[in-house]
Amino acid sequence: MKCPHCNEMLLMSERHNIQIDYCPACRGIWLDKGELDKMLEYAAAKTEPTRNYQSGMHDATGKHNKPYKKKSFLGDLFDFD
């Protein structure tokens, strides 16, 4: 199948039982019917309860501790490099 945007040949990758067609030229992502629903189900299963962080957290040395930034599930699915 060819990319609708740049007419380049699409490559297929399978991640977590989801088939993703992507274009290596324009980096476009193309999903078939039902694949977005599968991605949302994967995201819901991957999320954990959020933790409440207080702003301005400091440790014993007075240094500011930044809360851990949660990684996106999209990076796990769309990391083709």
Whole domain around residue 6: which residue ranges?
1-36
Does the residue 60 lie in any domain? no
Q: What is the dihedral of CA 13, 28, 46, 56, to 10 degrees?
A: 140
Number of structural domains in the chain: 1
Does the residue 8 lie in any domain? yes
Does the residue 18 lie in any domain? yes
Does the residue 32 lie in any domain? yes
**Is 70 exceeded by the pLDDT of residue 7?**
yes
Please report the pLDDT score of residue 65 as a whole number: 61
Measure the CA angle with vertex 40, ends 42 and 10; round to 5°: 90
Please report the pLDDT score of residue 67 as a whole number: 61
Does the residue 11 lie in any domain? yes
Does the residue 26 lie in any domain? yes
| Residue 71's pLDDT band (cuts 50, 70, 90) | low
pLDDT tens digits, one per residue of 20-45: 899 999 999 888 889 989 888 888 88
SS3 assignment, position 2:
strand
